[in-house]
Amino acid sequence: MSDKLELDPLFNKIDELKPQFIERLRQAVAIPSVSSDESLRPKVVAMSEFLVKELKKLGFHDIQSRELGTQPPPVADPNLQLPPIILGRFGNDAKKKTVLVYGHYDVQPALLEDGWNTPPFELTHDKTKDILYGRGSTDDKGPVIGWLNVIEAHNELKWELPVNLVVCFEGMEESGSLGLEELIGREAKQYFNKVDTVCISDNYWLGTSKPVLTYGLRGCNYYQITVNGPGADLHSGIFGGIIAEPMTDLVKVMSQLVDSAGNILVPGVLDMVAPLTDKENALYTDIDFSVEELNAASGSNTALHQKKEDILKHRWRYPSLSLHGIEGAFYGAGAKTVIPAKVIGKFSIRTVPDIDSHKLDQLVFDYVNKKFAELKSPNTLKVELIHDGNYWVSNPFNEAFTAAAKATEHVWNIKPDFTREGGSIPITLTFEQQLKTDVLLLPMGRGDDGAHSINEKLDISNYINGCKTLGGYLHYYGRG
């Protein structure tokens, strides 16, 4: 690679600080900041306080913990406060470019009994494989802490940061980024004034060995269907066969949303998907990936598509509908002969260009109501949107992607692939539109990290080289 920067002192310092960096991540993972669990909201707030403390120690200035008020419905506790958004600055030099770094400090739920090999909120170092296990290790505490590590390495070296850094860390990403869009709108010309580019490290490599830079995300519209029946849970021996059961209705309706081949059964959804052009079609051939890698990441042979191109298209550019769970249903071990009185089914649709989010909602509502009406049940059904987030696709041929490609090649000795992502980061498009800047997605972890799953992990090589890549990116971008 030509025009390589002299970054050895920084990279050596990052290697030297590895024990401290693991300790910082251990402290972060130990806080169960699950945004979707109302009872754990104080822990999400505790995680925001941990970050504020760390930012102060590292010398950030203008640190603000922005309160967002109460969480809008549907929510069990109408007084539930949203966790704050943490803002901070490092450097304020008019001669330097300004990079806004976004990440989230909330995590998905995790219970040992789900099948974890180690306690999910204890960062566990498997020394034989050099892997760190724990909820949030890759999504997204590892990368968030990674940015702080980069600052620590610069402080230790007494190196100036090559850019001004603005951080924006939220605690509701896994639950729809509630409140963040409004904050960005308000701060576009205030706190975020003069931001030149936005960098998000909150996704993963496609596979396990080749780094990637990401220029697209699917969106996510998350729905719930509530079916209400009897006044209380009932004995199935006494009431079975003589009353209408909410669970039977819900399962009937949910089973007609998607088929076993992954086809969405809600009419009109596929009609909104942008047609595949020859130019786009050609892009999939050059990406390094295989069905074997997908099987390894899923821990099974359950792939719906065998050809790499089909897998990638269905992950990146076609919508998918997933059934997630049923609140109120009996789910424990053993045999409980109960008829649940009220059940709430949860499902989401990953959206892609050119799906219109509001039109999608209407199609879903109409279809669910129609399917329920066909059951002629005396129960009641309500279908509603819990949260939504836009898809995003950008052009990766800009200064930020070029700098990130250089940094990645410098650290990993290989040119990264340019990929899209099947997951969602609801706020990405808002940053691009409100700040009128480019957004770069610069992932730290691997495709088999098990984000949202049991035994979520981050390889130490990805953590440490990831910190070098984030730091290297700031240098290549700052110089450009």
54 counts as binding Zn ion under rule CB under 5 A? no
Residue 222 binding target from ligand L7UNP4BN, Zn ion, none, CB below 5 to 8 Å by type: ligand L7UNP4BN
Pick between residue 245 and residue 456 the one whose CB is nearest to ligand L7UNP4BN. Answer: 456
- Distance separating alpha carbons of residues 79 and 45, to the nearest angstrom: 15
Q: Site size for Zn ion, by CB under 5 A?
A: 3
Furthest C-alpha separation in the chain: 79
Residue 71 binding target from Zn ion, ligand L7UNP4BN, none, CB below 5 to 8 Å by type: none
The burial of 208, by beta-carbon neighbours within 10 Å (0-12 exposed, 13-18 middle, 19 or more buried), is given as: middle
- Distance separating alpha carbons of residues 129 and 459, to the nearest angstrom: 8
**Chain centroid to CA 341:** 33
- Distance separating alpha carbons of residues 447 and 91, to the nearest angstrom: 34
Element (H, E) at 43: helix 41-58
Q: Which of 139, 173, 417, 456 is catalytic?
A: 173
Q: Is 106 a catalytic residue?
A: yes
Stretch that binds Zn ion, among 73-81, 202-210, 298-306, 456-464 (CB under 5 A): 202-210
Cβ 107 to Zn ion shortest distance, Å: 7
Give every CB contact of residue 479 below 8 A, 6+ residues apart in sequence: 5, 162
Q: Which of 106, 139, 170, 421 is catalytic?
A: 106
Q: Is-contact 173 35, C-beta < 8 A?
A: yes
Pick between residue 377 and residue 469 the one whose CB is nearest to ligand L7UNP4BN. Answer: 469
Q: Is-contact 216 421, C-beta < 8 A?
A: yes
Which residues bind to ligand L7UNP4BN, rule: CB under 6 A? 139-140, 173-174, 176, 202-203, 220, 222, 389, 423-426, 451
Residue 203 binding target from Zn ion, ligand L7UNP4BN, none, CB below 5 to 8 Å by type: ligand L7UNP4BN
Q: What are 389's strand-pairing partners?
A: 220
Q: What are 167's strand-pairing partners?
A: 88, 101
Residue 450 binding target from ligand L7UNP4BN, Zn ion, none, CB below 5 to 8 Å by type: none
Cβ 204 to ligand L7UNP4BN shortest distance, Å: 8
Q: Which residue is nearest to ligand L7UNP4BN (CB)?
A: 423
Q: Is 160 a catalytic residue?
A: no
456 counts as binding Zn ion under rule CB under 5 A? no
Residue 424 binding target from Zn ion, ligand L7UNP4BN, none, CB below 5 to 8 Å by type: ligand L7UNP4BN
Cβ 175 to ligand L7UNP4BN shortest distance, Å: 6
Residue 443 binding target from Zn ion, ligand L7UNP4BN, none, CB below 5 to 8 Å by type: none
Pick between residue 388 and residue 409 the one whose CB is nearest to ligand L7UNP4BN. Answer: 388
Could you say which residues in the range 119-148 bind Zn ion, by CB under 5 A?
139-140
Cβ 422 to ligand L7UNP4BN shortest distance, Å: 8
The burial of 343, by beta-carbon neighbours within 10 Å (0-12 exposed, 13-18 middle, 19 or more buried), is given as: buried
Pick between residue 24 and residue 218 the one whose CB is nearest to ligand L7UNP4BN. Answer: 218
Q: How far apart are the first and last CA of the chain?
A: 16
The burial of 58, by beta-carbon neighbours within 10 Å (0-12 exposed, 13-18 middle, 19 or more buried), is given as: middle
Q: How far apart, in Å, are the Cα atoms of 154 and each of 17, 162, 470, 472?
A: 11, 10, 12, 11
> 138: which DSSP letter?
T
Q: Is-contact 11 121, C-beta < 8 A?
A: no
- Residues noted as catalytic: 106, 173
Report the interface residues with Zn ion, using CB under 5 A. Answer: 139-140, 202
